[in-house]
Structure 1
Amino acid sequence: MEAAVPAGAVASAIDQDYALVGEGLTKVFGGFAAVKDVNLAVRRGSIHALIGPNGAGKTTCFNLLTKTLSPTKGRILLNGVDISRLRTAEVARRGLVRSFQISAIFPNLTVLENVRVALQASYGTGYHFWRSLRAVAPLNRRAEELLEQVGIVESRGTTAAELSYGKKRALEIATTLALEPEVMLLDEPTAGMGHEDVEPITELIRKVAVGRTVLLVEHNLSVVSNLCDRITVLQHGEVLAEGTYEQVSNDERVVEAYMGGVDE
C-alpha cells in the first residue's frame, strides 16, 4: 500500500508533474476542524478521486481546493503558483474550473443558449444579455462543437429543463468545457443517476479528461474503480490512505472506515 502524501513530500511535488497541490489544508468552523492538515498532489493529466465515508470532510476539502472556501491554514498551488487567497473567478481565469453536484444550468434557456452564455463569460462578454443575437452568433459554432463533444448536439434547441438527468449533466460538462479548463473539478458527477446514465457519463468524463487534469468527488466506487488513476481516502477530515483503487480497496483501514462511517 502506497502511503498518503506526507507534508515533506508536497513541497517536492510542486513541479511540472503536478497541476494542483494542497499543502497542510485545514478548515476550522468554530471549534470544529472539518479538514485537518490534508496534503494532496494531483498529477498533471490524471483523473484523481477524493473519496471517504459520510462525514469524512470530502466536501469541505473539495470546496477549499475550488476556492469556494478559504483555508484556515495551509495553501493551494495551481501549476506551482499559490492561489490560496485568490477569488474563484480569478482561479477560473487561470484554468481551474469546477462543476457542482446540483446542475448549474439555466433551465429556461435552450441547450445551445446555455453553452453560449458560458462562452460569453470565457470571451469576456459574459452576462451581457442585452447583446443582439447577431452579436453572439459567432459563438454558435463553438457551442455546437462542445455539444457534439459531449454527445447532445441533437438537443441544441431543447429547453434545458426538458432534458433527462444524464443529459443535464452532459450539458453542465459542456458549459464547464466552454471555460477552457486546464484542471476540472467535478462534484459527484453521477449523483442521483440511474444505471443507464452512469456509464455514458463515466465515458464522457474519460473522453473530456484527455489533455486535462481531473479531480472528482464521487460516491460510486464502481465509477472510481473504472475511471481514476489515483485515489485519496479521507476520514474524519484527515488523509487515511492514498494509492490506486486496488491498493486502497484492499487497505483494512479503508474497509473499516466505510463499514463504520457516520453521517455528516
Structure 2
Amino acid sequence: MQVDTPVLETRGLTKSFRGFTAVDSVDLCVQEGHVHALIGPNGAGKTTVFNLLTKFLPPTRGEILYRGEAITTLKPNEIARRGIVRSFQISAVFAHMTALENVRVALQRRLGTSFHFWKSARTLNVLDERALALLDEVGLAAYAHTLTTEMPYGRKRALEVATTLALDPSVMLLDEPTQGMGAEDVDRIVALIKRVSVGRTVLMVEHNLSVVSRLCDRITVLARGAILAEGDYAMVSSDPRVREAYMGREAPEPDALEVRA
C-alpha cells in the first residue's frame, strides 16, 4: 500500500444540533501509519468529530470512508470490527477489577463470549498469556493483579490503551490521552503512544501541544467546528490564524502555543 493512501477520510462531515452546527463540512484525511492530531480551542468540535467517526453520533450530512469504503451508515460495533477503536476523555476501565481482568474482558470477543457474563471466570484463563503480554507492552506488568481503583491515574490511562489494543485496532482514536496528568505521566504516555503506534494509525485529540509536537506527523486545527489549518507542527504553530484562535490577537510569537499549552 502506498504511504500516502488515506486510511480514514471524511467528506463534508457535518453535525448540527437544533440549528447549532458543531461540525461544519470537515474534510479530514488521515494517512496510513501516521500519528495525526486534531486540535483546537475548547468547543471547536474535536470530540464531536470522534463521536461521528465511531458512530456514537449520526452525521447530519457528509461521508466517512475507511480505506476508500463508505462506512457512514455502520453501527458503532461494526466500526470497531473494522479496526477503528477509540478511547475516551474519562477513563473507561472497570474500577473494581484487576488490570489483568480488564484486559481479559476486552479480549473476550475472540472467544465469542463477549456477553456471556454468567460463565465461570476460569473459562477466560486461556486469555491470560495475551493479556499479560498487552500489559507488558504498556508498562503495566507489575500491576497485573492490582485493582484498577488502586492504580495511579496515569497508569489507569495506560490500562485503557491496553484494553484498546486488545481489540486489535488498525486505527486508534485517542481522546485526550494525557488529560489531567503531571509531567512524569505525560512523558510515560508519550513514550507509550510512540511504541503502540508502530504499524498502526493513530488519530488523537490532545490539548497539550508539547505532546503534539513530539508525536504527530500531521495536525488538523479546528475552530468553530471547521478546519482552520492543517500541516505539520511547525506549519500550524506559526499560522497567525491558529495563534489568534488559541491566544487572541495579541500573540505574535510562533512558539506561543506551546508556551501556553
The one-letter code matched in structure 2 to 1:71 is: P
Tell me whether 1:107 sits opposite 2:92 in the alignment. no
Residue 176 of structure 1: how far off its partner (Å): 0.3
User: What is the SS of the residue equivalent to 1:138?
Assistant: helix
Residue of structure 1 aligned with 2:128, choices 140, 144, 147? 140
RMSD over aligned Cα atoms:
1.3
User: What is the SS of the residue equivalent to 2:95?
Assistant: coil
Distance in 2 of aligned mates of 1:33 and 1:129:
41
Q: What residue in structure 2 maps to residue 248 of structure 1?
A: 236
Residue 122 of structure 1: how far off its partner (Å): 4.1
Question: Which runs of no fewer than 5 residues in structure 1 stay unpaired?
Answer: 1-14
Distance in 1 of aligned mates of 2:76 and 2:187:
30
Tell me whether 1:39 sits opposite 2:27 in the alignment. yes
Q: What residue in structure 2 maps to residue 151 of structure 1?
A: 139
Distance in 2 of aligned mates of 1:227 and 1:157:
31
TM-score, scaled relative to structure 1: 0.91
Residue 16 of structure 1: how far off its partner (Å): 7.2
Q: What residue in structure 2 maps to residue 94 of structure 1?
A: 82
- The count of aligned residue pairs is 247
Distance in 2 of aligned mates of 1:70 and 1:193:
32
CA contact (8 A) 1:23 1:74 kept: yes
User: What is the SS of the residue equivalent to 1:92?
Assistant: helix
Residue 124 of structure 1: how far off its partner (Å): 2.3
Tell me whether 1:177 sits opposite 2:165 in the alignment. yes
Distance in 2 of aligned mates of 1:16 and 1:58:
24
Residue of structure 2 aligned with 1:223, choices 211, 214, 226? 211
1:130-158 Cα shifts (integer Å, max 9, x gaps): 22233211100000000010010111110
Aligned-pair identity in percent equals 62
User: What is the SS of the residue equivalent to 1:167?
Assistant: helix
Which of the pair has the greater relative contact order for Cα pairs under 8 Å at 6+ separation? Answer: 1
Residues 189-204 of structure 1 aligned to structure 2 (within 5 Å): 189-204=177-192
TM-score, scaled relative to structure 2: 0.92
1:179-200 Cα shifts (integer Å, max 9, x gaps): 0000000000000111110000
User: What is the SS of the residue equivalent to 1:137?
Assistant: helix
Would the alpha carbon gap of residues 123 and 77 (structure 1) be closer, same or farther in structure 2, given more than 3 Å must change? Answer: farther
Tell me whether 1:85 sits opposite 2:76 in the alignment. no
